[in-house]
Amino acid sequence: MATTSSEITEIIKAQIKGFRGKAESVDVGTVVEVGDGIARIYGLAGCMASELLDFGRGVFGLAFNLEEDTVSAIVLGDYTEIKEGDEVRTTGRIAEVPVGDALVGRVVDTLGRPLDGKGPIATTETRRIDVVAPGVILRKNVDTPLQTGIKVIDSITPIGRGQRELIIGDRQTGKTAIAIDTIINQKGQGVFCVYVAVGQKESSVAKIVATLEEHGAMDHTTVVIAGASDPATMQYLAPYSGSAIGEFFRDAGKDALCVYDDLTKHAQAYRQVSLLARRPPGREAYPGDVFYLHSRLLERAARMNEENGGGSLTALPIIETQANDIAAYIPANVISITDGQIYLETDLFNAGVRPAMNTGLSVSRVGGDAQIRAMSKVTGSMKLDLGQYRELAAFAQFGSDLDKATLAQLRRGERLVEILKQPQYQPLPVEKQIVIIFSGTAGYLDDVPRERVADFERDLYRWMDVQAPQVGQLILKERKWTDEVEKAARAMIEEFKKANPYGEAKA
Amino acid sequence: MALTGSAARRYAEALLDIALEERKVDAYRESLDKVAAAFSGSLPFFRDPSRPLERRLKAAEAATKGEPTAIGSLVSMLIRRGRIALIAQIAAAYGDLVDDRAGIAKARITTAVPLPDAQRASVVGRLEKTTGKRIEAEFAVEPTLLGGATVQVGDHLVDASLRAQLDALRDQLAST
């Protein structure tokens, strides 16, 4: 874009001509004390809750506590710039972030300022960081699946667009991996993603961004970072910012996905801010409104009805537990807010079951509505088989003389567990998921040795691509598990098995 | 200031109630201002716990002789409770409460150049009309405003200075 200096002069001239100076009418106060990201301000009698306050020199704050003569504000940014006696002005505004298509592919901080060195964000639209969630009249039922590309999730705990599904587990159980795989799988599905990193090491976030870039997932993703070294106020606000960025797409009639990684750290940042602002501590020293903290965030995930654009915002909050304790304060809160949870366990992870999802404790309360019909039909019997297998497996450890039916049940279960394993960064399209799960539940895997199930799976997918592409197309076209589809699938698997012998399974 | 402000106001409110009952609001104000000025100079003496309380109370009693009884009792109560340092703030808070009741608001008017008396009167007149209160104005000169004026009534500030408008223009130019 070539602009000559005379043109610049013209532009500035026009702007100065058009400038209408108005007398600014604001409320003022004086900083009494400042420290730990909290400023106490005397005055500001007309200040509103959560109002943005101007400390001058480009530093802003949010009114947090309104007291009799003072206001406690949480400072966004560098509080060391603020001194006792400084004048503080109200702005009449609430904190906002820039939103829009220009944010796609960008890495930003809580206030939407770019962190990726790719220049300013070209958007004029902003949205309030903290808004009231849409009411029930504006919504409709969750009925469209959000394909995560992860077999065990799409089959057992399907996630719908507009749902809130919690990912919960101890450290190092693959919580973030599930979220990242889900984002990667949204490529080409028209779902815009926001990944909010709260209180994480900057190095881990950089690694995640690099992974997303490598898999081409940054083309539909915004990353919002409030790292471990950022002030607690920024960590407290980051999920709301991410949600606002996602809501832009929801309200434009598009689909969006927001990952909050993780809300445990978010609650801790809020606890820090609250205690510094002298709010009374409650259980585990969290303030009384931690439930509201998370409920008002997650309630913003919604599926809008047709009159309101029909867009959706799906939320995938992540919670880190200590020693599998899902009854602790914050985990129990978030479990009760969300529409289901994906529960990951260290034991399973170490046993090589990855994703380490505990299929017994994980649920999706939206359930079958968020699956295509073919998938819910095929997985119906799998949940039962898996449940019976878990029960039997515990008993089978003690005795060896089991009857035939029990042995068959165990064999089936082992193979089902095997096919639900999946390596990282390899999301699977839904038709392949359906075929492999059908192979398991229909007994085609019973004679395949357990350690060869992975080979069977890999080769079957290749066969589907090369020898029988019509089966996948048929499933996608019909979407239901009709007799015709089942016949085609059976024929393909039988033919495949004839061509590729995997040897007899040892009993 | 802020942390103790509400405590001082409690004492001031109580004192105002008594003053209203006795219909001596203005007399109390005068007396309280005098006492506050007198005690502010010798706070270390009255707060020194190494002196017996009796002696400090006696000294205070002597100092407040001739003042209304309520003021004397207030002073001795403050000394007993170790809060005599609040006396100046109580006096200020009492003054504010009385002004507030009388519909008097304090305004601080800052201009870049000193205003002639005629203009001062006109500014005060305009302010009284918009606020509906009697204005007790305080004028200040601040050359960095460049032009125009800022008017602060209570916590509310109207900034019509050239400085503020130039700042706004700079922000607008920088953001486009």
**Residue A3 banded pLDDT, cuts 50, 70, 90:** low
**Domain range spanning residue B16?**
2-100
Given A23, A42, A46, which is nearest B159 (Cβ)? A23
**Residue A458 banded pLDDT, cuts 50, 70, 90:** very high
DSSP string covering B73-100, please? HHHHHHHHTT-GGGHHHHHHHHHHHHHH
> Is pLDDT above 60 for A244?
yes
Residues in chain B with pLDDT < 70? 1-5, 175-176
| pLDDT, mean of residues A154-160 | 94
How high does pLDDT run on average in chain A? Answer: 92
Q: What pLDDT was estimated at residue B1?
A: 36
B21 in the same domain as B67: yes
The answer, for A51 touching chain B at a CB cutoff of 8 Å, is: no
Instruction: Give the number of beta-carbon pairs within 8 Å between A and B.
Output: 55
Q: What pLDDT was estimated at residue A370?
A: 85
Q: What pLDDT was estimated at residue A366?
A: 87
CATH for A28-93, options being 3.40.50.2300, 2.40.30.20, 3.30.70.20, 3.90.1150.10: 2.40.30.20
Q: What is the pLDDT of residues B75-97, one digit of tens each?
A: 999 999 888 888 988 998 898 88
ipTM, two decimals, is: 0.72
Q: What pLDDT was estimated at residue B96?
A: 87
| pLDDT, mean of residues A314-329 | 96
Return d(Cα A327, Cα A27) in angstroms, integer.
46
Q: What is the pLDDT of residues A164-174, one digit of tens each?
A: 999 999 999 99
**Residue A77 banded pLDDT, cuts 50, 70, 90:** confident
> Is pLDDT above 90 for A150?
yes
* Amino acid sitting at position B87: I
The structural domain count of chain B equals 2
Percent of chain A with pLDDT over 70: 98
> Contacts of residue B1 in chain A, CB cutoff 8 Å?
32, 42
B29 in the same domain as B85: yes
Q: Is A474 helix (H, G, I), strand (E, B) or coil?
A: helix
The answer, for A49 touching chain B at a CB cutoff of 8 Å, is: no
Residue of A nearest to B166 (CA): A21
Residue of B nearest to A71 (CA): B2
CATH fold for domain A98-371: Rossmann fold (3.40.50)
Return d(Cα A31, Cα A81) in angstroms, integer.
12
B169 in the same domain as B113: yes
The neighbouring-strand residues paired with A318 are A167
The answer, for A327 touching chain B at a CB cutoff of 8 Å, is: no
> Contacts of residue B155 in chain A, CB cutoff 8 Å?
27-29, 43-46
Name the residue among A146, A164, A208 with its Cα closest to residue A319: A164
Q: What pLDDT was estimated at residue A141?
A: 93
Looking at B58, B76, B100, which one is the last position of a domain? B100
B141 in the same domain as B119: yes
Looking at B46, B81, B100, which one is the last position of a domain? B100
The neighbouring-strand residues paired with A53 are A61, A90
Looking at B100, B121, B137, which one is the last position of a domain? B100
B107 in the same domain as B59: no
The Cβ of residue A325 has, within 10 Å, a number of other Cβ atoms equal to 11
The answer, for A361 touching chain B at a CB cutoff of 8 Å, is: no
CATH of the domain at B144: 3.40.30
Q: What pLDDT was estimated at residue A2?
A: 55
Given A29, A45, A68, which is nearest B6 (Cβ)? A68
Q: What is the pLDDT of residues A103-122, one digit of tens each?
A: 999 999 999 999 999 999 99
* Amino acid sitting at position A322: Q
Return d(Cα A373, Cα A144) in angstroms, integer.
11
Lowest mean pLDDT among A9-18, A255-264, A481-490: A9-18
CATH for A374-499, options being 3.40.50.300, 1.20.150.20, 1.10.3720.10, 3.40.640.10: 1.20.150.20
CATH of the domain at B76: 1.10.520.20
Q: What is the pLDDT of residues A41-51, one digit of tens each?
A: 998 988 999 99
The Cβ of residue B104 has, within 10 Å, a number of other Cβ atoms equal to 14
Residues in chain B: 176
> Is pLDDT above 60 for A507?
no
CA of B79 vs chain A CAs: smallest distance (Å): 25
Burial of B100 (0-12, 13-18, 19+ CB in 10 A): middle
Instruction: Choose from B96, B108, B109, B157 for mutation: most chain A CBs within 10 A.
Output: B157
Q: What is the pLDDT of residues A127-145, one digit of tens each?
A: 999 999 999 999 999 999 9
* Amino acid sitting at position A122: A
> Is pLDDT above 60 for A26?
yes
The neighbouring-strand residues paired with A224 are A108, A196
Q: What pLDDT was estimated at residue A502?
A: 84
Residue of A nearest to B162 (CA): A21
Written in H, E and C, the secondary structure of A137-158 is HHECCCCCECCCCCHHHHHHCC
**Which residue did the predictor score with more confidence, A483 or A401?**
A483
B80 in the same domain as B9: yes
Domain ranges of chain A: 28-93, 98-371, 374-499
Residue A224 backbone dihedrals phi, psi, to 5 degrees: -110, 125
B73 in the same domain as B8: yes
**Residue A432 banded pLDDT, cuts 50, 70, 90:** very high
> Is pLDDT above 70 for A504?
no
| pLDDT, mean of residues A205-223 | 96
Q: What pLDDT was estimated at residue A505?
A: 52
Q: What pLDDT was estimated at residue A331?
A: 97
Return d(Cα B152, Cα A125) in angstroms, integer.
34
B54 in the same domain as B9: yes
Return d(Cα A494, Cα B5) in angstroms, integer.
86
| pLDDT, mean of residues A266-271 | 97
